[in-house]
A and B are shown apart, each in its own frame.
Chain A
Amino acid sequence: MYGWIWRHLPGNAWVKALVSLVLVLAIVYVLFQYVFPWAEPLLPFNDVTVDRGMGAVR
């Protein structure tokens, strides 16, 4: 998988390393900005109220 990506990146080894670094940073950014905020409420840490059922009705 990673070997395949590395082979398909353009340029020499230095350019490839730079492009992969940018790719990694972009993926981490997307994860922290969009994916994790979506996934986090599915975990139980947000349940701090006693009227979640009532709140849904209101």
Chain B
Amino acid sequence: MTVRSGAAARSGARGRPGAGGRPGGVARLVVRTVSEVCVTAGTLIVLFVVYVLFWTGVRADSAMDGEIGKLQDQWSTGPVAAGTPGATGGQPSGPGKQPPYENGKSFAVMYIPRFGADWSKPVLEGTAVDVLKKGLGHYGRTARLGETGNFAVAGHRRTYGDPFKDFPRLRPGDAVVLTDGTTWFTYRIDRRPYRTLPTDIGVIDPVPRESGYSGPGRYLTLTTCEPEWGHSHRLIAWAHLDSTQPVERGRPSALTG
């Protein structure tokens, strides 16, 4: 028995290479195909990382420059809309006096000196994914720029140009300056960025919850994601309207000084 089976095994072992090298060839083909698939998958992943980290930024930077250029053209040539609230020195305008911003269109430029002297981003109406690829997004239900209430804006922290990359560096007193073509609005941050859950929509209320503000006012809220590459939380910054000045009087001191 043992002799027989040993002989069979030996003959089988001898039979394999004798059969035209096919079993070995199949194994080689399988190993080669599997490794080729692995290399392909690795290349795909590297390409996707390049896309997310680099290419979205390139596309977003050109889109944001385009939006700012469009706004500046509009402001320098077109008739300037008269009487933005706040420009007249602080009379609260009645609700519904101004038409709502047009969805998906840019209407203001934001400057935050803390993020760099040359940091400027367009603000568009709406917070849809496509809108946030072209700049910062204004929450549609919240107040207009400079109005009583809460002017709330969302932006990417990472990818698409990393507009809010340095968000945690915001400190009380930091200026957030916006212009709509007729008026400069200077908001001042009131506290360090606040970390909350994605469902906490009270942070963009007219009087934001947890902000420390007790009564109605002209507030600004910035929101972005937290942690930097994740989506488990949100990071919030609140500011109040500190001063306004018409564009004819030049840039506000927060930008020049």
Which residues of A are interface residues toward B (Cβ below 8 A)? Answer: 1-3, 28, 31-32, 36, 39-41, 43-55, 58
Contact = CB atoms under 8 A, between A and B. Distances in A.
Interface stretch (B44-52, B76-84, B245-253): B44-52
Given A3-B32, A47-B198, A51-B201, 10 more contacts: A28-B47, A40-B51, A44-B231, A45-B229, A46-B156, A49-B137, A49-B223, A50-B201, A50-B223, A51-B127
A49 B236 CA distance: 10
Contact of B198 (A31, A32, A52): A52
A32 B155 CA distance: 23
Contacts of B199: 50, 53
A2 B35 CA distance: 11
A43 B56 CA distance: 13
Contacts of B157: 48
B132 interface: yes
B112 interface: no
Given A1-B33, A45-B229, A36 B51 contact: yes
B203 A50 contact: yes
Contact of A2 (B36, B164, B203): B36
By DSSP majority rule, is chain B's interface helix, strand, loop, or mixed?
mixed
Contacts, number: 88
B224 A48 contact: yes
A3 B33 CA distance: 10
A43 B53 CA distance: 13
B128 interface: yes
Interface in B93-107: none
A1 B36 contact: yes
Contacts of A55: 127-128
A47 B196 contact: no
Among the interface residues A39, A41, A44, A58, which one has the most CB atoms of the partner chain B within 10 A? A44
A44 B70 CA distance: 30
B158 interface: yes
Nearest to A52: B198
Nearest to B47: A31
Interface string B226-256: 0001110010100000000000000000000
A43 B223 contact: no
B83 to A, nearest CB: 29
19 contacts: A1-B32, A1-B36, A1-B37, A31-B47, A36-B51, A36-B52, A39-B48, A41-B129, A44-B225, A44-B229, A45-B229, A46-B132, A46-B159, A48-B132, A48-B234, A50-B154, A50-B204, A51-B141, A51-B204
